[in-house]
Structure 1
Amino acid sequence: MDPVLNISAYLFTPLTDREQLRETLLARARAGNLKGTVLIAPEGINLFLAGDAVQVRGFLHELRRDPRFADLGAKESWSADQPFRKMLVKLKNEIIRMDHPAVRPADGRAPSVAPDVLRRWLDQGHDDEGREVVMLDTRNAFEVEYGTFTGALDWRIERFTQFPAAVEEHRDDLAGKTVVTFCTGGIRCEKAAIVMDDLGVDHVLQLEGGILTWFEQVGADHFEGGCFVFDDREVLTPQLRVPEEFETRREPRRSALA
């Protein structure tokens, strides 16, 4: 097994002590020789970290001792090398920017569908109530180029802030269908499903855990290509590995979370 453990995690939970939290998490990460990016906003936390497995899991264990982060889940993958060059903890207005302040996932999650249930729906061609299932990619257009669900809708947005307007434009096309929003790890799906419900789209669900959880629990079924990730690895296959053509490529495409 490759020696470097990579984790991605997020949680919508109100945070009022961001400055103090930033200093605590930065010191803890550096003590464990971890690298990556942690975003802290009033609405919650979003993090991508990599390092020795004992240190990474220890970081998560300490974080979860804070009751606000007790429910923080993490997705794991492995790499031969450290995919991050620095350890950054940043204060942001949102952990995923949408510029839609009425959307508050911490006040209540949008309904979700588990990967195994969704696979059954896609296999049979409809959900359990007989409605057509439409997969909606909420990621930015350049991410979609690396891979997506077969037949998924892609509205070619360049920034997540454009998503609400795209919903308004395409809302009528979704009538009478079950819409499943998805993204890399679930964070954009949370906000996307809520804003769609607010804008009057019925039968909207989010894919629980996003593409990375789909890869972990289902694999390559109904998915074409790989999943873009915001570190030096650039893309992961459905086996949660770096494709051979990227293994020796160490120049990062992007240096920050988006």
Structure 2
Amino acid sequence: MASLPQPHHPYKVMAVYKFASLPDVEALKAPLAEFCCGKGIKGTLILAPEGINGTVAGTPEAIDALADYLFATGPFGTRLMGAEVKYSFADTAPFLRMKVRLKPEIVTLRAPQVDPNRQVGTYVEPEDWNALIERNDVVLVDTRNDYEVGLGTFQRALDPHTSSFVEFKDYVEKHLDPARDKKVAMFCTGGIRCEKASSYLLSQGFEEVFHLKGGILRYLEVTPPEQSRFQGECFVFDERVSVGHGLELGNATLCRACRHPLTEADRGHADYHEGVSCPYCKDDAAKHAAAAERQRQMDLAKKRGLAHMGDAALTDAERRRQAKRAQAERSRQANKPD
């Protein structure tokens, strides 16, 4: 289990997934939701017959209790032992409510022949990843969607240009060949998509398939910046938007209209209007109108000294980004040559 030693933060964040046989998911949903709500935990957990996936946050004591519930004392028994778990910490709650959802798959690929419980590729530890991806005989593939890749990726990685993981199958069919691509290395945010992607490639006749254990997040957590081959920031699915090395808060923000992640360059574009539109949704008038009204309500709430409902976490994240930028500017000025 990856854990950052930051106990002084009031909220502990748990990202967890495990492919495991859970034919009784319908019976598991209500007890799990009741347990989390009773502990004040918020976030989303997805249950499917193939396993569990999700990210939640709460007090350190609550999250520790949830870990015990999932892996030992709860109705899951020992089925989730050995799950991929990552812990981080936050100053404010990154989620607004608790949801436990039932789905056919914990990560949707719609490939019935794929079974990560039966076969997956070879796990590669973050410490060994650089040596692997620098080999000329290895094809490196980013299995994430295009908006995630746009914020950051590994050097030399191929971008499948997918808008959903289901499209990954088409990419493989059109651009990868088991007769030509003898060694394929893949990576994703936390590792879960690569479990299915590597299993899928093996089912299609690819011989040697590797994937980054713990995903980009684990790599950024343990790899010194000067040794890193990851360029940019890693998109995360909460109000932090992105993280960098050491899992520090990144500089990306979300467009309030289309929810596309935005870099500093995007925010400097002529089509960016704070709270209303961005270069990725510039022609969607309906989204702009809804976002403009939401921004108006936020501005009114701000004038009255009130927090707009649902925006506390986002506002705090932006405050921390601004503080980070100010600190970087002070450091730059202090180190300027005379």
TM-score normalised over the length of structure 1? 0.88
Alpha-carbon distance between aligned partners in 2 of 1:228 and 1:244, rounded to the nearest angstrom: 10
- Given that 2:120 and 2:202 are in contact with CA atoms closer than 8 Å, whether structure 1 keeps it comes out as no
- The higher relative CO (CA closer than 8 Å, separation ≥ 6) is in 1
- Given that 1:175 and 1:201 are in contact with CA atoms closer than 8 Å, whether structure 2 keeps it comes out as no
- Tell me if 1:235 matches 2:242: yes
Alpha-carbon distance between aligned partners in 1 of 2:17 and 2:313, rounded to the nearest angstrom: 28
Q: How many residues align?
A: 245
Corresponding residue number in structure 2 for 1:256: none
Which secondary structure state, in structure 1, belongs to the residue aligned with residue 106 of structure 2? coil
Counterpart of 1:158, as a letter, is S
Alpha-carbon distance between aligned partners in 2 of 1:209 and 1:188, rounded to the nearest angstrom: 11
Larger Rg: 2
**Alignment match of 1:213 (pick from 200, 215, 218):** 218
- Tell me if 1:84 matches 2:95: yes
- Tell me if 1:75 matches 2:86: yes
Alpha-carbon distance between aligned partners in 2 of 1:106 and 1:222, rounded to the nearest angstrom: 30
Which secondary structure state, in structure 2, belongs to the residue aligned with residue 98 of structure 1? coil
Equivalent residues in 2 for 1:28-177, closer than 5 Å: 28-65=35-72, 66-122=77-133, 125-126=134-135, 132-172=137-177, 175-177=180-182
Higher strand share: 1
Unpaired runs of 5+ in structure 2?
1-7, 254-311, 316-338
Change (3 A) 1:60 1:249: closer
Alpha-carbon distance between aligned partners in 2 of 1:219 and 1:96, rounded to the nearest angstrom: 30
Counterpart of 1:94, as a letter, is E
Counterpart of 2:58, as a letter, is G
- Given that 1:171 and 1:201 are in contact with CA atoms closer than 8 Å, whether structure 2 keeps it comes out as no
Corresponding residue number in structure 1 for 2:205: 200
Which secondary structure state, in structure 1, belongs to the residue aligned with residue 156 of structure 2? coil
TM-score normalised over the length of structure 2? 0.68
**Alignment match of 2:30 (pick from 23, 26, 36):** 23
> Following TM superposition, by how much is the alpha carbon of 1:73 offset from its aligned partner in structure 2, in angstroms?
2.9
Superposed CA offset, 1:120-146 (max 9, x none): 334xx32xxxx5233211011111111
- Given that 1:79 and 1:241 are in contact with CA atoms closer than 8 Å, whether structure 2 keeps it comes out as no
Alpha-carbon distance between aligned partners in 2 of 1:21 and 1:208, rounded to the nearest angstrom: 28
Counterpart of 1:164, as a letter, is K
Change (3 A) 1:116 1:241: same
- Tell me if 1:250 matches 2:314: yes
Which secondary structure state, in structure 2, belongs to the residue aligned with residue 153 of structure 1? coil
> Following TM superposition, by how much is the alpha carbon of 1:176 offset from its aligned partner in structure 2, in angstroms?
4.6
Counterpart of 1:4, as a letter, is Y
Unpaired runs of 5+ in structure 1?
252-258
> Following TM superposition, by how much is the alpha carbon of 1:219 offset from its aligned partner in structure 2, in angstroms?
4.2
Which secondary structure state, in structure 1, belongs to the residue aligned with residue 246 of structure 2? coil
* Structure 1 residue runs of 4 or more that deviate by more than 6 Å after TM superposition: none
Alpha-carbon distance between aligned partners in 1 of 2:148 and 2:119, rounded to the nearest angstrom: 28
Measured on the aligned residues, the alpha-carbon RMSD in Å equals: 2.1
Counterpart of 1:214, as a letter, is Y
> Following TM superposition, by how much is the alpha carbon of 1:25 offset from its aligned partner in structure 2, in angstroms?
0.9
Alpha-carbon distance between aligned partners in 2 of 1:174 and 1:34, rounded to the nearest angstrom: 49
Alpha-carbon distance between aligned partners in 2 of 1:2 and 1:20, rounded to the nearest angstrom: 34
Alpha-carbon distance between aligned partners in 2 of 1:225 and 1:153, rounded to the nearest angstrom: 15
Moved more, 203-212 or 170-179: 170-179
Moved more, 73-82 or 166-175: 166-175
> Following TM superposition, by how much is the alpha carbon of 1:151 offset from its aligned partner in structure 2, in angstroms?
1.7
